[in-house]
Chains A and B, each alone.
Chain A
């Protein structure tokens, strides 16, 4: 039975000083959930016998199956310490790397953390991450050294060895803390030194100043030590835990030593002198047993030895008597020693007592929130707190007061949205019926049944009303209930916001502002001053860019009870709770407040960023809608998921890791989309380009002028030129076009690439006669802003771009002279990084920078101008290598001749090759292609910048993984004050699949990469290259197909698109001789 009901809970919530919001952090499988189980069992929610086996907090099916926690969930617990009643909001968090985003959401809402460490495994990667996260969020940790039973039973250590082992583990943890501390102090130092140098540049800074920062800073509170009372020794699976204080009180009277002195000395290098009854230091030196071994561990070992190993029944009775424990008869009879052991220890040293006392004593209440933390919440590191509006700064005091009074503003932070099945909500849960209701329903059912019987009388005469069992009746009534409760077609899941009140009291029916993560109090306050108000009917999806506020009336408030939710009417400051009915207002995180002056809480510090990309699609094409809907829900439910719709129409799901991905796919299949889906590698785009002819070949030998030599002979001066110049006629021979392709200077390409939005806006502006509002709506959010101000801002930007391009062309050399004004068009899609240059003699067309007006422009060619441009657009959209867009290519039109103008006078039917405009289009396209092919062609690959945090010991393995995937290390540096390295590398996107799992596997999780798209890079190999010179044959052999990376990529794309690939169907003719089809 539960120890307390919701009334009691509401009462406890009022007393802010007795609330503890804590979370459990640890490496995977160190026993977080088991520990949580023990604590939950102390409240009577689950049976103590089941604690550790049930894993109550793991409510998902796959969590239970895999045995790992995948989400953070909260439960409210009651604990009474020395007459004071405490409310502990315990959040269990996952330990697996893939779910570290869930840890972030948990940590944000807490004031303290229980860090669990497996004493066998010691400090693991995720332990470090957890400690770091706690440190970054300014929450105070306490330590639980778990699985001590394994030291006894598995490792079979002697008590003394175990003691030494424990001190070592403790030292490891403290070393991590020390490192974090040092890193921060040094980091702070750098900042202060920087500011100082301006003021005191004259001051001679000697070496001593270097170290002052570290020495001045106070780190006494930082470390874990049993005598400080912030360490608990436990075996959650056997249900026991103790702190030094527990044993101190036990032995103080026996030994006749003051309890507090004993507490001070029980842990450490002290021994007990039996004759003098004194505690003397230096146990190790004198080869004496330390106090901890003598009084604590040896006793424990003895209990284990008697009960679990020797199964000595008589001895057991003695122990029971001395500990004043009574076992039930059933436990006494039990043959399994382990069960008896657990029963004994659970009563002797209950986990909940040790852990929760420590939590209540050592961890801060919401009232003790530090100023530093508040400032961290309210403004990110890049901003200064002073820069916030004064109204906002005033809120700091409300944070610090954390008062539940009605006059203080309500501030709530929502750290995540989690899905709950609708039928699990307390409103929809079946209420236990009162006796009258049951009777009434029975009567109704009976009548109904009677009617039915009347109708089917002839058939089912035998069945009489009396025979109807109670079960049938209740079933019928529940069915009816269900019909009543779900009249509307609602989705099965509702989203509950996982939140904490930082100030004020939130009540049902209260109206609050929902402030999005990008909300800026400056703007909002200004808006309010201008008399704009927030439309209460707005929902998240109606919001335009720049708007981040909606209004909502709070409908449902819940106390989170692990798997269950309890309804509640109001929540005072300092509590963790759930809010229902916000799905349409909150995406992932948000701040709720009664004042818009409240700033949005700073973003969660995510330890893992989404990195594993897959393309998802439904197995049945008609399920696409359901899938999209499901993806939306998933996106809302998981902080660490990104869903991107790509240009190709693929839906790409980005997750933190393999396990996370698996969970997301399962969720999609079973919960959100409810359709079968396929996940596959997403399509990687490439670009095609041309380069200046290379001067060295693949083995770095200078290319001899063998084939260039004859061209340079007298009389062949312009040969190279003419070879690149392509002349093409339209099918009806009426027009001749001469085109040459040239690589664009890289500066120009980057400029064009970065300004696509601008070029697009410009094109739209010039192309649409009426500058209508439709355009501005269609444009992307950034652009919408621009379009309305096209006259001022965009024009300015365009002029900027022009200037910069001019500079870039000027730097590029003299062949680009005047190119800026000759730009005919850019492509593909009129905004890309390729240029069409107009060098047609006599065709003076205005450049792309001005509006092209053909009405006052009399040239027969003007009529086909748009076709010409379109041909160029088509050519740049799909290149000859593998039909991927071109990049950084300039097509120079040297000539364009129209011979006659007869088509307009001719009747329509007599155009044998289709409309003339179409012919121009296709011949321009063909011409561009051929001009492109006449140059050395290259493939461009998309590149990620990959920043990797890694320990020194795994650095080598990490480089190996990078090298295998053609990555290039840009730079690597050691992070000041710690032993980890920060390496930056460039990695081709094509090679990035399963990069994250591989690097994690190779480095045992000690290196965590982050990938961000950075740029396009030319792959330096000619996709058509085969060894041709002597040296190349020597180096690569005759076939050389292993080395040509560009060829491999190109063929893969061509194959995917169904284009012809230069590949033999069968490599060796002889080898297929005995192949039978049916074999």
Chain B
């Protein structure tokens, strides 16, 4: 006859977040509280008891199988359960809990909006849009945040989408380019094509000095043209990364 099942001596774990790690051919798991593991990894939560449900290393949390001691020693080289738990916590793979995911996405969404508002201007006023408006517009175009790409990349993705609902433009860079030589004229054409507007240009005994506004996306190209085609005689100077109207204004 099997053992009588007595629920009183059984510790039930609820709301468990499992962190697993495979080491030495064995699987180890620990039982943590939900929404706490990421905080621990970020160093925000410092109390281990707020993270671990129990200082035991399991082979399988859901079945309640505790890992064998010799396996632990073999894999980790130590038998202090808490230390092993800490190692698993920091290196193991985890399932991101709902609130963790939510707060991460929220932060990312805001970060993207802030980046967009930082990079773009309203072409009519040459002023940035407030972040809250960008956020609203992002919602309007049904932009969904991808958790695994960084904010800047996604901001660049969303800008063309936003252009459909509001007048929006990348804030332009102001560059000064100086070069001389035979191909100067040809080079000028090339750059003028990339540049949005050429603000001023001046020929001075065969040397051209021009100030132009370019889209920040073209910066590398321009830089390379100047660098390679002039063989180092050209000079590129960044005057302003963002051409926006500054200061407050009263209507």
Contact at B166–A624, with CB atoms within 8 Å? yes
CA distance A644 to B249 in the complex (A): 6
CA distance A1075 to B122 in the complex (A): 45
CA distance A907 to B224 in the complex (A): 10
- Chain A nearest CB from B200 CB (Å) reads 6
Contact at B251–A622, with CB atoms within 8 Å? no
Which residues of chain B from 79 to 107 have a CB within 8 Å of any chain A CB? Answer: 98-100, 103, 106-107
- Chain B nearest CB from A684 CB (Å) reads 13
Q: A645-B127, A649-B129 are in contact. Are A1073 and B15 (CB under 8 A)?
A: yes
What's the interface size class on B, roughly?
Answer: 35 or more
- Chain A nearest CB from B50 CB (Å) reads 5
Chain B residues in 8 Å Cβ range of A1058: 106-114, 151
- Chain A nearest CB from B92 CB (Å) reads 18
- Chain A nearest CB from B180 CB (Å) reads 12
Chain B residues in 8 Å Cβ range of A1070: 33
Residue from A620, A649, A829 within 8 A of B122 (CB atoms): A649
Contact at A624–B122, with CB atoms within 8 Å? yes
Which residues of chain A from 642 to 669 have a CB within 8 Å of any chain B CB? Answer: 642-650
A912 contacts the other chain (CB 8 A) = no
Chain A residues in 8 Å Cβ range of B249: 644-645
B218-244 vs A, Cβ < 8 Å mask (1 yes, 0 no): 001001100110001001111101000
Residue from A621, A829, A1056, A1064 within 8 A of B136 (CB atoms): A621
Which residues of chain A from 311 to 361 have a CB within 8 Å of any chain B CB? Answer: none
Q: Which of B20-28, B35-43, B70-78 interfaces with chain A?
A: B35-43
Chain A residues in 8 Å Cβ range of B35: 1065-1066, 1069, 1072
A608-638 vs B, Cβ < 8 Å mask (1 yes, 0 no): 0000000101111110110010011001000
Residue from A622, A642, A683, A1073 within 8 A of B130 (CB atoms): A683
- Chain A nearest CB from B164 CB (Å) reads 10
Chain B residues in 8 Å Cβ range of A1059: 107, 111
Residue from B14, B106, B166, B248 within 8 A of A1073 (CB atoms): B14
B117-142 vs A, Cβ < 8 Å mask (1 yes, 0 no): 10000101101111111001100100
A1057 contacts the other chain (CB 8 A) = yes
Chain A residues in 8 Å Cβ range of B39: 1064-1066
Task: Report how many A-B pairs have Cβ atoms within 8 Å.
Answer: 155
B157 contacts the other chain (CB 8 A) = no
Chain B residues in 8 Å Cβ range of A1077: 98
Q: A1064-B39, A1064-B45 are in contact. Are A621 and B166 (CB under 8 A)?
A: yes
Contact at A1065–B250, with CB atoms within 8 Å? no
Q: A642-B250, A646-B248, A1058-B113 are in contact. Are A1064 and B122 (CB under 8 A)?
A: no
A1014 contacts the other chain (CB 8 A) = no
- Chain A nearest CB from B128 CB (Å) reads 4
Identify the closest chain B residue to A621 (Cβ): B166
CA distance A874 to B238 in the complex (A): 12
Identify the closest chain A residue to B204 (Cβ): A769
B165 contacts the other chain (CB 8 A) = yes
A904 contacts the other chain (CB 8 A) = yes
Q: Which of A833-841, A863-871, A1028-1036 interfaces with chain B?
A: A863-871
What's the interface size class on A, roughly?
Answer: 35 or more
Chain B residues in 8 Å Cβ range of A648: 117, 128, 130-131
Contact at A621–B111, with CB atoms within 8 Å? no
Contact at A617–B133, with CB atoms within 8 Å? yes
Chain B residues in 8 Å Cβ range of A618: 133
Which residues of chain B from 198 to 230 have a CB within 8 Å of any chain A CB? Answer: 199-200, 202, 209, 211, 220, 223-224, 227-228
B11 contacts the other chain (CB 8 A) = no
CA distance A644 to B106 in the complex (A): 30
Q: A1064-B39, A1065-B38, A1070-B33 are in contact. Are A908 and B251 (CB under 8 A)?
A: no
Contact at A907–B33, with CB atoms within 8 Å? no
Contact at A908–B228, with CB atoms within 8 Å? yes
- Chain B nearest CB from A292 CB (Å) reads 55
- Chain B nearest CB from A845 CB (Å) reads 15
B44 contacts the other chain (CB 8 A) = yes
Chain A residues in 8 Å Cβ range of B45: 1064
A871-890 vs B, Cβ < 8 Å mask (1 yes, 0 no): 00010000000000000000
Which residues of chain A from 1019 to 1075 have a CB within 8 Å of any chain B CB? Answer: 1055-1066, 1068-1070, 1072-1075
B159 contacts the other chain (CB 8 A) = no
Chain A residues in 8 Å Cβ range of B127: 645, 649
- Chain B nearest CB from A254 CB (Å) reads 66
Q: A1062-B44, A1066-B35, A1072-B15 are in contact. Are A647 and B247 (CB under 8 A)?
A: yes
CA distance A769 to B208 in the complex (A): 12
Chain A residues in 8 Å Cβ range of B224: 908
CA distance A216 to B233 in the complex (A): 87
Q: A631-B251, A649-B117, A780-B247 are in contact. Are A904 and B238 (CB under 8 A)?
A: no
Contact at A680–B132, with CB atoms within 8 Å? yes
CA distance A615 to B114 in the complex (A): 17
- Chain B nearest CB from A619 CB (Å) reads 7
Contact at B34–A1072, with CB atoms within 8 Å? yes
CA distance A863 to B178 in the complex (A): 12
CA distance A1069 to B200 in the complex (A): 63
B178-189 vs A, Cβ < 8 Å mask (1 yes, 0 no): 000000000000
Chain B residues in 8 Å Cβ range of A617: 130, 132-133, 136
Q: A1058-B108, A1058-B151, A1065-B38 are in contact. Are A769 and B250 (CB under 8 A)?
A: no
Chain B residues in 8 Å Cβ range of A678: 132
- Chain A nearest CB from B160 CB (Å) reads 15
Contact at A1063–B44, with CB atoms within 8 Å? yes
A277 contacts the other chain (CB 8 A) = no
CA distance A874 to B108 in the complex (A): 22
Chain B residues in 8 Å Cβ range of A767: 239
CA distance A915 to B232 in the complex (A): 13
A770 contacts the other chain (CB 8 A) = yes
Q: A622-B165, A1058-B112, A1066-B36 are in contact. Are A647 and B246 (CB under 8 A)?
A: yes
CA distance A769 to B209 in the complex (A): 9
CA distance A867 to B237 in the complex (A): 8
Contact at A863–B99, with CB atoms within 8 Å? no
CA distance A169 to B106 in the complex (A): 61
Residue from B50, B103, B199, B238 within 8 A of A1069 (CB atoms): B50
A964 contacts the other chain (CB 8 A) = no
Contact at B202–A1060, with CB atoms within 8 Å? no
Chain A residues in 8 Å Cβ range of B251: 628, 631-632, 635, 643-645
B59 contacts the other chain (CB 8 A) = no
Identify the closest chain A residue to B247 (Cβ): A647
A774 contacts the other chain (CB 8 A) = yes
Among B130, B167, B236: residue with most chain A CB under 10 A: B130
CA distance A866 to B178 in the complex (A): 14
Chain B residues in 8 Å Cβ range of A615: 130, 132
Chain A residues in 8 Å Cβ range of B140: 620-621
CA distance A657 to B45 in the complex (A): 44
CA distance A288 to B96 in the complex (A): 91
A447 contacts the other chain (CB 8 A) = no
- Chain B nearest CB from A117 CB (Å) reads 38
Chain B residues in 8 Å Cβ range of A907: 228
Contact at A770–B200, with CB atoms within 8 Å? yes
B51 contacts the other chain (CB 8 A) = yes
Q: A1064-B39, A1072-B33, A1073-B15 are in contact. Are A621 and B137 (CB under 8 A)?
A: yes
Closest 4 CB pairs of A and B: A1058-B110, A1058-B111, A1069-B33, A621-B166
14 residue pairs of the A-B complex, CB under 8 angstroms, read A622-B167, A642-B250, A644-B250, A645-B125, A649-B133, A769-B202, A870-B238, A908-B227, A1057-B114, A1058-B106, A1061-B107, A1065-B103, A1069-B36, A1069-B50
Q: Which residues of A contact B (CB under 8 A)?
A: 615, 617-622, 624-625, 628, 631-632, 635, 642-650, 678, 680, 683, 767-770, 772, 774, 780, 829, 863, 866-867, 870, 874, 904-905, 907-908, 914-915, 917, 1055-1066, 1068-1070, 1072-1075, 1077
Given contacts A649-B117, A650-B130, 11 further A-B contacts (CB under 8 A): A615-B130, A628-B251, A646-B248, A767-B239, A866-B237, A917-B223, A917-B236, A1065-B39, A1068-B50, A1069-B35, A1072-B34
